[in-house]
Amino acid sequence: MSSAHTTDAVILVGGKGTRLRPLTVNTPKPMLPTAGYPFLKHLLARIAEAGITHVILGTSYRAEVFEEYFGDGSDMGLEIEYVVEKEALGTGGAIRNVYDKLRYDNAMIFNGDVLAGTDLSGILATHEAHQADVTMHLVRVADPSAFGCVPTDSEGRVTDFLEKTEDPPTDQINAGCYVFRKEMIAKIPTGRVVSVERETFPQFLVEGARVFGHVDAAYWRDMGRPEDFVRGSSDLVRGIARSPLLSGRTGEALVDETAGIRDGVILVGGTAVGRGTEIGAGCRLDDTVVFDGVTIEPGAIIKNSIIASGVTIGANCRISDCVIGEGAQIGARCELRAGMRIWPGVVIPDTGIRFSSDA
């Protein structure tokens, strides 16, 4: 039996997604439509593809939404269990909280809002080759100063954990995916908030644990901000970030078969259009995520934006770099730009007036 079949997958999906509000007012961030599917489904498909079959979701905010959608996971060839975090426990506390559900000697831990393209089998192979206690996925980035840096020695063993620093000694950053030996998870304190980055990993190093890095330059994006969410979705649609769910279907746009697209509509830049959405004649959507049941009237131009379910966009609107919440109604000829966020149910009348977040 391969190591993947004897590895648990643990996905931490308990966050409130505050940076993506108002999209997350009613929906947990990992369940937001991303390139035609809930974001979490892309990760679960990669886990299944790697041969891992037992998955534990560590939930908290709107926990019921996950189980309602995925059930026992059998539709994806998985066996999914759920552990609800009653109070926020931090990353380390959340990992410790699922301990009783673990079946195997190793657990692969995922941050539920990271879009990544690394080879999961490769991380497990690194873990086995070094007989590691913990293996961390590390990604090389152009500007590591915005992230926690993780230097390694010539053998790949982690030597330090550094918070954001102006002069980082390495371009390797913590990518939010780890393999733990089960007994190492047992060492994390229970019943209190624990940061795996600030407390658990540094403590392991002090104790002399075998902590190694699996370093690559694979696709990696934290999906927590609107601009990253839009880019991540469009990269999936265009095939820049790979998902087993989209095999053979990548291109400039991904349109649900139930959507109605009228004459002269231009969809580019990895735009995704959800179920039952109607887009009127002459519209142009560039690098935009459109959820289900949206109505976009003729002549609208939308760029780098997220349009939530049930929204109505009036004719000849100009929208760029915006987030439009569920059920909002944007009147004809409105111009919304510069990072505006429209809250669910808000009605903006036909005006032709320009609105921007810096106005």
Q: Is residue 241 part of a domain?
A: no
Number of domains in the chain: 2
Q: Is residue 297 part of a domain?
A: yes
pLDDT of 13 above 70:
yes
Q: pTM to 2 decimals?
A: 0.93
Q: Are residues 197 and 261 in the same domain?
A: no
pLDDT digits (tens, 9 = 90+) for 15-70: 777 888 898 888 888 999 999 999 999 999 999 999 999 999 998 778 788 999 99
Looking at per-residue confidence, does 191 or 44 come out higher? 44
Instruction: Give the per-residue SS3 of 215-273.
Output: EECCCEEECCCHHHHHHHHHHHHHCCCCCHHHCCCCCCEEECCCCEECCCCEEECCEEE
Q: Are residues 164 and 26 in the same domain?
A: yes
Q: Are residues 220 and 283 in the same domain?
A: no
Q: Which of 193-197, 239-243, 325-329 has the lowest mean pLDDT?
A: 193-197
Q: Are residues 280 and 167 in the same domain?
A: no
Q: Is residue 235 part of a domain?
A: no
Q: Are residues 178 and 219 in the same domain?
A: yes
Q: Is residue 105 part of a domain?
A: yes
Q: Are residues 184 and 292 in the same domain?
A: no
CA distance 36 to 248: 14
Give pLDDT, residue 359.
38
Q: Are residues 275 and 343 in the same domain?
A: yes
The distance from CA 130 to its chain's CA centroid, rounded to whole angstroms, is 29
Q: Which domain holds residue 169?
A: 4-226
Tell the residue number behind the tokens 């590691």, with chain if given: 132
pLDDT digits (tens, 9 = 90+) for 280-298: 999 999 999 999 999 999 9
**∠ at Cα 175 (181, 127), nearest 5°?**
30
Q: Is residue 222 part of a domain?
A: yes
CATH number for 19: 3.90.550.10
Write down which residue in 209, 226, 243 finishes a domain: 226
Give pLDDT, residue 350.
85
CA distance 310 to 325: 9
φ, ψ of residue 277 to 5 degrees: the values are: -75, 145
Tell the residue number behind the tokens 């010539």, with chain if given: 154
Answer for the pair 85, 62: CB distance below 8 angstroms, yes or no: no
- 187 CB-side CA count, 13 A: 16
CA distance 354 to 340: 11
Cα–Cα separations (whole angstroms), residue 64 to 14, 99, 219, 310:
11, 21, 30, 22
CA distance 138 to 186: 23
CATH number for 317: 2.160.10.10
Q: Is residue 296 part of a domain?
A: yes
Write down which residue in 210, 226, 242 finishes a domain: 226
Q: Are residues 172 and 111 in the same domain?
A: yes
pLDDT band at 352 (very low <50, low <70, confident <90, very high): low
Q: Are residues 40 and 188 in the same domain?
A: yes
Q: Are residues 103 and 148 in the same domain?
A: yes
Q: Are residues 119 and 256 in the same domain?
A: no
Q: Is residue 194 part of a domain?
A: yes
CA distance 272 to 238: 10
Mean pLDDT of 255-260: 96
Give pLDDT, residue 269.
97
Q: Are residues 100 and 22 in the same domain?
A: yes
Mean pLDDT of 318-340: 94
Strand partners, 140: 172
Q: Is residue 240 part of a domain?
A: no
Write down which residue in 172, 191, 226 finishes a domain: 226
Task: Output the average pLDDT for the chain.
Answer: 92
pLDDT digits (tens, 9 = 90+) for 266-282: 999 999 999 999 999 99
φ, ψ of residue 163 to 5 degrees: the values are: -70, 175
pLDDT band at 81 (very low <50, low <70, confident <90, very high): very high
Nearest to 283 by CA among 274, 295, 270: 295
pLDDT digits (tens, 9 = 90+) for 112-158: 889 999 999 999 999 999 999 999 999 998 888 888 889 999 999 99
Q: Going by DSSP bridges, is the β-strand pair 172-181/106-111 parallel, antiparallel, or unpaired?
A: antiparallel
